[in-house]
């Protein structure tokens, strides 16, 4: 007689796996990766390769030889961290910066907490911030490497738009003067050509990735929209008060990592809240902290710090921002 | 505009491959294994003895206690034995085993094909006939119908909701009866409305069954206007009692509450048909429509089948046990029970026999939770399965109660969506049982 499998319901399972979800996020990053290769050539390829290879190797070595646990590198989560970090570095970064960043991201921010799903802070961001405070000169040098395909971006943009604005304001220039001196335009910001890290050269490529993630239902729109909405509102208020002191809201959203940060970093499953209410609160918090740092902090850009700070609040948010329970609004009897 | 429930839900693939197979009468087997425990509540007490001659439809066991139901012979012949036999899950249950001789029905049963539209019975008589005929809820729980139609003192039903959602993948038995026994179902609904004393009923059907909606609306417009046919979005678990009430009326049954707490009684379309047959045709509940399906099966069919038919004979009726089938499910793939032995027999509420291959039913190896929140999004009760799983494994009973583990309806949506293949419902089900036991042991206020 044939032996039957007996196990509790449900007897069917969805097709998604950690692997398929991570793969989808990597696919969503492909447009940004292609744009960066177009503009930065070999440099972008080199950073991505070193980033992914190091991240995967570090996770493998730790699991195989140190903690002797199951090897999980085939779930693509380490590869994703390495890729994300590479897209968050200045295009001219040396390969060893990428290597150190990946070691810190996986070795310290992820594996010490117990590997995938266990970390409190976003590994790629921990790696990036570690590099930013350890190698401030390299990490803020946004000069353009020579490309295979074309002669780089506008040679003048050796700094990010946000740092140009911050320095300009410090020199006592008005916003109009800064914009006209540097030929800033929204078309530039949308399609490329603005100084910044590898992955944020094209807002359009990032938005394409966002749409893909939404269609594939990999992420919910709540966190990115809450961040972007908060940045628009916050900067909009200040811009209305004094447009010569504060850049306009659209400029604030299209520059300095708001898009890559809100779409790909803040939505990291492990380090973001579980309920939709919690997601909105988390996004608003990131938006506010980002703008506080931009306007009054020492750094021109603040979304990395903002996300990490809000990462720390996630357990608390999960404890208090519960999903709406069925049957709560109806009185008994 | 189709309606639906407001919290959670998933969209598993339909796989209603037996949808176009018209209902056929399943041949009566050589021996019927009739369980005394086919309903929620106390097992029925046999009133026949070994060697007794019984007719099809004859009472063979009486309801025993307040929550229990009568059981009738599904065949005619001689009682072979009354013994403890394993049910589909392997639990020992008392069975009356009947050796089949011919198929002689009780004379009291009206076997004519004419539809009996005239309702002559008073509400009390309707409930009495339903109880007499052993009708139980055919949506899954098999709760005795006559009790559900008699709300406790102080509670009043405003509406009757009839569940034609059939949101489980693969199942088509409700769909087929909605197409083939449309008017009988509507008369059954009217009988239950009369028993409850309600003026309005809503019959909800998911929009992946457009022909059933069309047919129901067409017949309902000819003399059954008090029954409103509601089109529902396709979404699992739409047929869950609480979800169906939310979808159709916008009312939410409170935690630990019953539908009657929000003035609603829910019955399944299959139950409506059984009520019609019991009251208008004097026919006890001893047969029902069972979908025999599975992608690995050579054919997928819908049978009108006597209670006590073995799963084995059902499989052989459609071409034998497929080589690659590894799991036999009684009911739908989301909430049905895995059958441990094919010699087990069907009961009143058996809706389907589903054969799955290992590939189709395989769970991946459990990995770390990545906190993707897909289980939170999927839970139709607004619970946090990832958290309940963690608390269950740590056996933190108080925290489990504070996080409403007892509200879980065991629909399996969380486990279905989990990308890390964490056995969420398995651990939650265990702690739910513990918490419910504690809650029920507390003195009543």
> What is the least distance, in Å, from the CA of A75 to any CA of chain B?
10
Domain that holds residue B300: 1-15+109-362
Q: What is the pTM of this model?
A: 0.91
For chain A, the domains span 18-139, 161-194+219-320
Does the interface ipTM go beyond 0.85? yes
The answer to whether B383 contacts A325, with C-beta atoms less than 8 Å apart, is yes
> Given strand B53-54, what is the order of strands in its sheet?
B31-35, B92-100, B77-86, B53-54
DSSP string for A10-24: P----S--HHHHHHH
Residue B119, domain CATH = 3.40.50.11540
Dihedral (Cα; A297, A299, A303, A309), 10-degree rounding: -60
Q: Are A219 and A267 in contact (CB under 8 A)?
A: yes
Instruction: State what percent of residues in chain A have pLDDT above 70.
Output: 90
CB spacing of A16 vs B419 below 8 angstroms: yes
Given B309, B333, B362, the domain boundary residue is: B362
A17–B364 CB contact, under 8 Å: yes
In a domain, B64, yes or no: no
Residue A152 has pLDDT above 50, yes or no: no
Instruction: Confirm or reject contact between A326 and chain B (CB < 8 A).
Output: yes
Q: Read off the pLDDT band of A154 (50, 70, 90).
A: very low
User: φ and ψ at A99, to 5 degrees?
Assistant: -60, -50
B-chain residues near A275 (CB < 8 A) = 373, 376, 384
B12 interfacial to chain A (CB closer than 8 Å): yes
Residues B123 and B254 in one domain: yes
Average pLDDT over residues A230-239: 95
Residue B357 has pLDDT above 60, yes or no: yes
Q: Which of B242, B382, B410 sits opposite A323 (nearest CB)?
A: B382
- Decide if B67 is inside a domain: no
Tens digits of per-residue pLDDT, A316-327? 999 999 998 998
- Same domain assignment for residues B414 and B340: no
Residues B358 and B413 in one domain: no
Verify that B336 and B432 share a domain, yes or no: no
For residue B443, what pLDDT band results from cuts at 50, 70 and 90? confident
Edge-to-edge strand list for the sheet holding B287-293: B23-25, B301-306, B287-293, B352-357, B325-330, B337-338
Same domain, residue pair B225 and B321 = yes
Rounded-to-integer distance, Cα A103 and Cα B106, Å = 81
Whether residues B335 and A13 touch (CB distance < 8 A) is answered with no
Shortest distance between the Cα of A217 and any Cα of chain B, in A, equals 10
| Domain assignment present for B308 | yes
Task: Quickly state the pLDDT bin for A63 (edges 50, 70, 90).
Answer: very high
Name the minimum distance, in Å, from the CA of A314 to any CA of chain B: 11
């Amino acid at each position: 007689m044939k032996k039957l499998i007996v196990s509790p319901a449900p007897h069917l399972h969805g097709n998604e796996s950690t692997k398929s979800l991570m793969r989808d996020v990597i696919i969503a990053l492909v447009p940004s990766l292609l744009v960066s290769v177009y503009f930065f050539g070999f440099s972008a390829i080199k950073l991505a390769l070193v980033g992914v290879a190091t991240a995967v190797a570090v996770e493998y070595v730790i699991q195989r030889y140190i903690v002797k646990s199951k090897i999980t590198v085939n779930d693509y989560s380490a590869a994703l961290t390495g890729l994300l970090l590479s897209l968050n570095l200045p295009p001219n970064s040396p390969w060893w910066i990428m290597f150190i960043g990946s070691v810190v991201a996986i070795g310290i921010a992820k594996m010490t907490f117990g590997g995938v799903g266990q970390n409190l802070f976003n590994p790629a961001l921990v790696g990036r911030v570690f590099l930013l405070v350890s190698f401030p000169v390299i990490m803020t040098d946004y000069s353009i490497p020579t490309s295979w395909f074309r002669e780089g971006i506008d040679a003048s943009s050796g700094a990010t738009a946000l740092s140009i604005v911050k320095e300009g304001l410090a020199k006592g220039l008005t916003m109009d003067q800064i914009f006209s001196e540097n030929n800033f335009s929204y078309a530039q910001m949308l399609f490329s050509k603005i100084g910044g890290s590898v992955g944020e050269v094209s807002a359009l490529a990032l938005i394409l990735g966002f749409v893909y993630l939404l269609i594939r239902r990999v992420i919910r729109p709540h966190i990115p929209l809450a961040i972007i909405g908060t940045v628009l509102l916050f900067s909009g208020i200040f811009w209305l008060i004094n447009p010569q002191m504060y850049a306009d809201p659209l400029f604030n959203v299209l520059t300095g990592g708001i898009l890559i940060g809100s779409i790909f970093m803040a939505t990291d499953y492990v380090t973001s809240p579980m309920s939709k209410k919690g997601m909105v609160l988390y996004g608003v918090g990131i938006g506010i902290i980002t703008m506080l740092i931009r306007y009054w902090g020492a750094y021109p850009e603040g979304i990395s710090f903002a996300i990490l700070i809000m990462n720390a609040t996630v357990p608390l948010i999960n404890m208090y921002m519960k999903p709406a329970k069925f049957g709560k609004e109806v009185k008994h009897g | 505009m189709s309606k639906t429930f407001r919290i959670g839900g998933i969209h598993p693939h339909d796989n209603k491959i037996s949808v176009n197979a018209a209902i056929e009468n399943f041949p009566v087997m050589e021996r019927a294994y009739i369980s005394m425990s086919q309903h929620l509540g106390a097992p029925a007490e046999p009133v026949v003895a070994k060697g007794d001659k019984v007719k099809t439809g004859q009472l063979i066991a009486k309801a025993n206690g307040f929550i229990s139901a009568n059981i009738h012979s599904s065949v005619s012949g001689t009682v072979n034995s009354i013994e403890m036999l394993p049910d589909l899950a392997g639990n020992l249950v008392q069975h009356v085993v009947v050796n089949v001789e011919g198929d002689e029905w009780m004379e009291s049963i009206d076997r004519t094909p004419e539809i009996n539209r005239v309702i002559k019975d008073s509400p009390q008589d309707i409930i009495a006939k339903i109880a007499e005929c052993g009708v139980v809820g055919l949506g899954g729980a098999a709760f005795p119908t006559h009790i559900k139609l008699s709300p406790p003192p102080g509670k009043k039903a405003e509406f009757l909701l009839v569940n034609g959602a059939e949101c489980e993948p693969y199942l088509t038995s409700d769909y087929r009866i909605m197409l083939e026994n449309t008017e009988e179902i509507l008369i059954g609904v009217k009988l239950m409305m009369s028993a409850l004393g309600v003026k309005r009923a809503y019959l909800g059907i998911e929009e992946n069954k457009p022909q059933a909606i069309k047919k129901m609306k067409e017949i309902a417009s000819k003399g059954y206007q008090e029954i409103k046919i509601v089109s529902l979005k396709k979404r699992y678990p739409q047929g869950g009692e609480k979800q169906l009430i939310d979808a159709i009326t916008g009312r939410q049954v409170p935690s630990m509450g019953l539908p009657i707490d929000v003035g609603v009684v829910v019955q399944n379309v299959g139950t409506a048909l059984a009520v019609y047959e019991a009251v208008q045709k004097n026919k006890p509940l001893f047969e029902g429509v069972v979908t025999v399906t599975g992608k690995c099966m050579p054919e997928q069919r819908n049978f009108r089948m006597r209670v006590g038919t073995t799963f084995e004979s059902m499989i052989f009726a459609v071409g034998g046990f497929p080589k690659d089938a590894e799991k036999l499910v009684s009911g739908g793939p989301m909430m049905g029970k895995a059958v441990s032995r094919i010699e087990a027999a069907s009961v009143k509420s058996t809706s389907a026999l589903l054969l799955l291959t290992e590939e189709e039913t395989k769970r991946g190896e459990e990995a770390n939770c990545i906190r993707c929140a897909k289980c939170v999004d999927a839970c139709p009760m607004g619970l946090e399965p990832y958290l309940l799983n963690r608390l269950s494994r740590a056996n933190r009973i108080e925290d489990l109660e504070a996080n409403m583990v007892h509200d879980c309806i065991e629909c399996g949506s969380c486990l279905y969506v989990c990308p890390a293949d964490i056995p969420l419902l398995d651990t939650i089900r265990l702690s739910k049982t513990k918490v419910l036991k504690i809650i029920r042991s507390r003195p009543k206020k």
